[in-house]
Amino acid sequence: MKSAVENLSPTRVKLTVEVPSEELQPHVDAALKTIGSQIQVPGFRAGHVPARIIEQRVGKGAVIQEAVNEALPEFFGKAVEETGVSPIGQPEVDVTDVPMTDGEALKFTVEVDVRPEITLPDYDGLEVQVDNLEVTDADVDDKLTELRERFGTLVGVERAVETGDFVSIDLKAELDGEPVDSVEGVSYEVGSGNMLEGIDEALVGMTQGETKEFSAPLAGGDQAGQSADCTVTVQSVKVRELPEVDDDFAQMASEFDTADELRADLTKQAEQAKKFEQGIQARDKVLAHLLDNTEIPLPEGIVEAEIHQHLEQEDRLEDDTHRAEVDESTRSTLKTQFLLDALADAEEVEVGQPELIEYLVMQSQQYGMDPNQFAQLLDQQGQVQGMVAEVARRKALAAALDKATIVDADGNAIDLDDIVPEGERASGDVEDLAGDDEAPETVESEASETADEQA
């Protein structure tokens, strides 16, 4: 088999492939066997019809077409291996010469998007500056308040609803006069923003037993995004009363005997949290430096496929304003993904089974699923390779961060071992930081999954 590659752009190539008849013949034989098992010819048992009879019955063209259709993925894979290209997305195949007579070659071309070739800037010893480590009384008070809230109690009040109150409400939504959904006696913290848009504004100022109407876009289902007529009724209003901070509270809420010991420990926790924030700042600045100093051409086919899929899922294909937003975010996340893939290659990153299992467990917790069921679901959907690629990207960013020189605003050097204690660092790296919830996301789509599978 012969194959040649033509660069159409930095992110798209055209492969020209020629397959000699002897390499296609096994596929022709397989096609004859398949077709022969599907037709009935008097005088011959199923599966034992001679080739010439099959060709007479269905036509040689049908046999060749069956053979070519089955053989194309294999020959495309060989051409990719021969030429060394890294295809992503769906290939566009054009069969230019079909071998209708013995000795003729199969010829076809393939146009496909490819991963861009990226030249990384020097990042060994890169200096990044982060904020000074400052732990204030307010920081410690915030942590103490969080702890007190865990042990707080809800007490009913007879007054108008205020932000921060806990209310029990009945809520129903209608669309064009037809009921969409309704709930009764649901508890909600006013101002938390995790319910319908506009409900916080509606609730503030209401009293027990009062009903109010408001409009809000539906958050899910087939009618997501459509404006619904909503009605909310307040059943009760409660406030959270927090326990006093004394020695009894310290003994109830912690391992410490006194309030002073508890506050000292919370101060250490606040300091460690501030150090971790420094690490997040450093990570983001290392990534920003790499992105700002690297030319990353994007395959437009992948970009458009991702945008279309995103807007189609939201039923907002005609929303030009939202399309512009999705376009910008898609390009940003794809650039980050391609950069981190190149970084993983440069750092010769390998993903071990324990690292993949750790990541799968972490992701399953976010989705509230059993890790084994989550892993089976990923396997069924063909997304395991995508998970491997994501772990590799996190390790690559961690490796780059590990090579950086981090200083605070006063010029003092910061040791990553102080940010993430060695006993808590994954695989000896700073993957805790690279894998933080605020880490840059990669595109989750059919297009990017295809890219991961081809990597």
CATH number belonging to domain 153-241: 3.10.50.40
pTM as predicted: 0.74
Average pLDDT score over the chain: 88
User: 27-31, 185-189, 223-227: which has the highest mean pLDDT?
Assistant: 185-189
- Determine the pLDDT at residue 195: 87
- Determine the pLDDT at residue 452: 42
Fold annotation for 2-113: Alpha-Beta Plaits (3.30.70)
**C-alpha torsion 242→246→248→249, nearest 10:** 40
User: Do 201 and 162 form a contact (C-beta atoms < 8 A)?
Assistant: no
Of the candidates 115, 93, 114, 68, the residue with the CA atom closest to the CA atom of residue 16: 93
Of the candidates 236, 84, 256, 65, the residue with the CA atom closest to the CA atom of residue 161: 236
Handedness of CA 437, 443, 449, 453 (dihedral sign): negative
What b-and-e string marks burial along 30-55, b requiring 16 or more CB atoms within 10 Å of the CB?
A: ebbeebbeeeeeeeeeeeebebeebb
Handedness of CA 204, 209, 212, 218 (dihedral sign): positive
Task: Name the residue type at position 15.
Answer: L
Q: What is the pLDDT of residues 343-393, one digit of tens each?
A: 999 999 999 999 999 999 999 998 889 999 999 998 898 888 889 999 999
In this predicted structure, the answer to whether residue 455 has a pLDDT above a threshold of 60 is no
- Determine the pLDDT at residue 357: 92
H or E element that contains 372: helix 371-380
- The pLDDT confidence band at residue 422, using thresholds 50, 70 and 90, is very low
Q: Is 207 helix (H, G, I), strand (E, B) or coil?
A: coil
Q: What is the pLDDT of residues 255-286, one digit of tens each?
A: 999 999 999 999 999 999 999 999 999 999 99
Domain layout of the chain by residue ranges: 2-113, 153-241, 259-418
In this predicted structure, the answer to whether residue 446 has a pLDDT above a threshold of 80 is no
Q: Which CATH class is domain 259-418?
A: mainly alpha
In this predicted structure, the answer to whether residue 427 has a pLDDT above a threshold of 60 is no
